Structures are given as C-alpha cells and as structure tokens.
Amino acid sequence: MREIVLDTETTGFEPEQGDRIVEIGAVELWNHLPTGKTYHVYINPERSMPADAFGVHGIGPDLLEPPQEPEKGQVTLKDKPVFAKIGQGFLDFVGDARLVIHNASFDMKFLNAELRWMNLPQLPNEQALDTLAIARKKFPGSPASLDALCRRFGIDNSNRTLHGALLDSEILAEVYLELIGGRQPGMELNTMPQQSVGQSSDDDWRPRPRSTPLPSRLKDSEAAAHAEFVAKLGDGALWNS
C-alpha cells in the first residue's frame, strides 16, 4: 500500500481570504515503511508575507513589509515557482495514494483551493487520513500536537525550531507509524508484494518448509519427566488440551 505523509506551510489560515501555500513537503511510504522518496518545493505565493506566519515558519523574509535580508537558513520566495508551475507535478507524485496529514482539513483546504484556481483536479477529502483525529481518539484529553506526540513516543524533534514542511512530514511519518502500532503493525514483517500461488522469483527470500522434518532433540527421560510433571497439574492443565 502506497501512502504519502504530507505537510504544508502557508501565509495564514484562509485561502478564500487570500492566503496561499508557500511550501509542500511529503514522504512516501510503502506498506508503512519509508521508501526514501520525497517531494519538496517552495512556492512563490504572489503576495506579501504576514509577520505572524513568518514567525511560525521563517520562510519568505523578502516578502515581509518592509522586506528583510534573509538570515542563514531562511528561504526567500520571490525567485521560487508559482503554484501553477508545480501543481500538475504535485498531483503526479501523489497519484491515488492515501494522504497522511496532521490536521488534514487545513492542508486539504489549501491544496484544493490552489488546484481549483489552476483548473486542476481536486483531491477527494476521503483520500486523506487525519493523524490528529487518530491521536485524539487514541489519547482522549491529552495534547495531540506534533510536538506533544513526539514527546509521547520519544521521537527526536530537536531540529524543529521552526515549522518546515519536509521536516514535519518526516517527523509525522514516525508519529504515524507509532499511532498505528509501530513500524511493523500486526507483526507483518514481510513487506514484499505477495505473489500468486504457483509463482516463483529469484528475489523471493522467504523460507520453504523442510522436505523432511528435523528429528526430535528431546530425550526419552526428558519426555517422561515432562509427562510426570503435567500429570501433577490435574485434568484442567493447559498441557492436556
């Protein structure tokens, strides 16, 4: 199963009031394991950057009023592509994969607004899985922010001094795997695609049953001692079932 863990950074809270996306970061998972494939882009929002939003993510000092000289590590946006230039590429990357998002309604609202303005297909809301909702259901009454979940699961987020879409999506991928039961939910250790009966492959490493079972290594005296011990437990002993 292919999943995309995704995060965005924006100029504010409401696209219908003129706010825009300035960064998209995403991490690909296959069967709940990172593939190493990511998507990351900064976007020119074609508007100024509110000071409050800049204080959250530190992106776009050149769009402040008045503009600021970027400090080390700060990203300027005037030279970045507008959404119209990256929209189709973003959709191609996402495809029909499940979108794993913390507070999904916020990001989906912005993504679909940007896509709609470009006359591009919308992302169905049912394609998104909201980790915030999962966390609130799993830990009712407890803080469910990304930072709070990192503390709960012992995930290192020390590099998260400011919000950043790619870093946050990488952290969220770890949080998501913990929320659903760890890196191998259900103890399904084989992450390779299952083959149909009768198929074989040189890459199929799974062990086959032995043609002849190994002989028992239990001595007759050990078997007799075990039987004597079980007899002392009575008729209700689990060993008798």
Point out the annotated binding site: 7, 9, 57, 168
Q: Tell me which residue of 170, 144, 142 sits closest to 156, measured CA to CA.
A: 170
- Write down the catalytic residue from 32, 40, 163, 226: 163
Question: Catalytic site residue 226?
Answer: no
Q: Tell me which residue of 108, 172, 170 sits closest to 144, measured CA to CA.
A: 172
Place of tokens 């007759």: 220
Buried b / exposed e along 60-88 (16+ C-beta atoms within 10 A): bbbbeeeeeeeeeebbbbeebeebeebbe
Q: How far apart (Å, rounded) are the C-alpha atoms in residues 241 and 235?
A: 9
CA atoms within 13 A on the CB side of 182: 6
Binding-site residue ranges for substrate: 7, 9, 57, 168
Q: Are 99 and 123 in contact (CB under 8 A)?
A: yes
Q: Which residues contact 151 (CB under 8 A, 6 or more apart)?
A: none
- The 10 Å Cβ neighbour count of residue 25 is 22
Catalytic residues: 163
